[in-house]
Amino acid sequence: MDLNTVKERAGPREFSPADDLPREYREAATRMIEFHANSEIMGAYLERPFIRQAPSIDRKLAFSAKVQDEIGHGQLLYRAAESLGVKTREEMLDDLANGDGKFLNCFHYPLKSWVEIPMISFFVDGAAMRRQATLRRTSWEPYAHAMDKVCFEEGFHVKHGEDILKELMTGSRAEQQRTQEAFEEWWPRIIQFFGPTDDKSTHHDFAASVGLKQQSNDELRDAFLDQYIPKARKHGLEIPDEPRIRERDDGTYAVEEGDLDWDEFFTIAKNDYEPGLGQINGRKQAQEAVQWVRETIEDDATTAGGHAPQAAD
């Protein structure tokens, strides 16, 4: 299939591994899905220490279930990406451990305290879900199928995240204040989740023309603000003065892009952001630390012939 045919046919779930697709399409889809898969893994690594720090047994259970889900999403997405035939799953995992794999801006920042958890589990997950819901109509069928399962599970993450936010914002004055401070620190990063404005986005036009991407960065960001600004206010959070957010006549919101730190964003995008190196190196160390587990599993599978495992639950 040539590129023009791809563009003509581009529609929801239109292309599958049975189709002979041009290199440009397969490379663009690989870049997009690999980034998404890496982000699931790096998000899980960021949140994992908080299973231990969760303040109650209920939170601990729910939070470990959530982290487990995110790792599962990473696995689904690496499958969808490798089915394009550009990179193997091994290559993608190696790149991530080497520090070459790219992932979401928000997961480059260290997460220091429990009051920051809703910033990821409610706002970033809410933003991710907004985007993922549109990707159920992406043109690469295995990606769309992965999104079906991801969206099914993700509703729990967002609502649990909101529950944590509610608990903190109805807690002691000190808790409320620390949550507000965390919100101020994270708010610009959350808005940058959706990437640069349409005119500065490097990959948008092509991805949209072949149906990989269903909505532009600007459309997604505005839709997120419309939904989550009222939510934040409802829980008693004050929206920071910067970046300036303009309310349109119809009650929807738009952000003043120039108020955001794009130098920092693009430094992060190149994996060069100093405070974020801890995240990248942490992943590398974890990969090395559990090398023996992978080896044991592989040896066991080849020698013992396997036995019925406990069902993944």
Least distance CB 137 / other proteins (angstroms): 9
Q: Quick one: 54 exposed, middle or buried, by C-beta within 10 A (0-12, 13-18, 19+)?
A: middle
End-to-end CA distance of the chain: 41
User: Interaction with other proteins in 194-223: which residues (CB under 8 A)?
Assistant: none
Quick note: the x/- pattern for other proteins over 18-47, rule CB under 8 A, is x-----------------------------
> Rounded to the nearest 5°, which phi and psi values hold at 255?
-100, 145
- Rounded to whole angstroms, the Cα distance separating 34 from 80 reads 9
- Rounded to whole angstroms, the Cα distance separating 218 from 255 reads 9
Q: Would you count residue 234 as binding other proteins (CB under 8 A)?
A: yes
Q: Would you count residue 129 as binding other proteins (CB under 8 A)?
A: yes
- Single residue of 184, 235, 262, 264 touching other proteins by CB under 8 A: 235
Residue 58 or 288 with smaller CB distance to other proteins: 58
- Single residue of 43, 126, 195, 196 touching other proteins by CB under 8 A: 126
Token couple for 52: 């231990």
- Single residue of 53, 98, 202, 227 touching other proteins by CB under 8 A: 227
- Rounded to whole angstroms, the Cα distance separating 190 from 238 reads 15
Half-sphere exposure (Cβ direction) of 189: Cα atoms closer than 13 Å: 22
- Rounded to whole angstroms, the Cα distance separating 213 from 120 reads 23
Least distance CB 176 / other proteins (angstroms): 16
Residue 43 or 126 with smaller CB distance to other proteins: 126
- Rounded to whole angstroms, the Cα distance separating 188 from 260 reads 7
Q: Would you count residue 293 as binding other proteins (CB under 8 A)?
A: no
- Single residue of 3, 10, 13, 201 touching other proteins by CB under 8 A: 13
- Single residue of 31, 87, 108, 130 touching other proteins by CB under 8 A: 130
Quick note: the x/- pattern for other proteins over 44-63, rule CB under 8 A, is --------------x--xx-
Residue 135 or 268 with smaller CB distance to other proteins: 135
- Rounded to whole angstroms, the Cα distance separating 89 from 108 reads 22
Q: Would you count residue 158 as binding other proteins (CB under 8 A)?
A: yes
Total of chain residues touching other proteins, rule CB under 8 A? 41
What's the chain's Rg over C-alpha atoms? 20
Least distance CB 212 / other proteins (angstroms): 14
User: Interaction with other proteins in 77-96: which residues (CB under 8 A)?
Assistant: none
Q: Would you count residue 258 as binding other proteins (CB under 8 A)?
A: no
Question: In terms of C-beta distances under 8 Å and separation of at least 24 residues, what long-range contacts does 240-249 make, across chains too?
Answer: 240/183, 240/184, 240/187, 240/188, 242/188, 243/188, 243/191
Least distance CB 68 / other proteins (angstroms): 9
Half-sphere exposure (Cβ direction) of 135: Cα atoms closer than 13 Å: 28
Report strand pairing: 245-247 vs 253-255.
Answer: antiparallel
Which amino acid is present at 3? L
Q: Would you count residue 183 as binding other proteins (CB under 8 A)?
A: no
b vs e for 263-288, b when ≥16 Cβ sit within 10 Å of the residue's Cβ? ebbebbbebebeebeebbebbeeeee
Interface positions with other proteins (CB under 8 A): 12-14, 16, 18, 58, 61-62, 65, 126, 129-130, 132-133, 141, 144-145, 151-156, 158-160, 162-163, 166, 227-228, 230-231, 234-235, 308-313
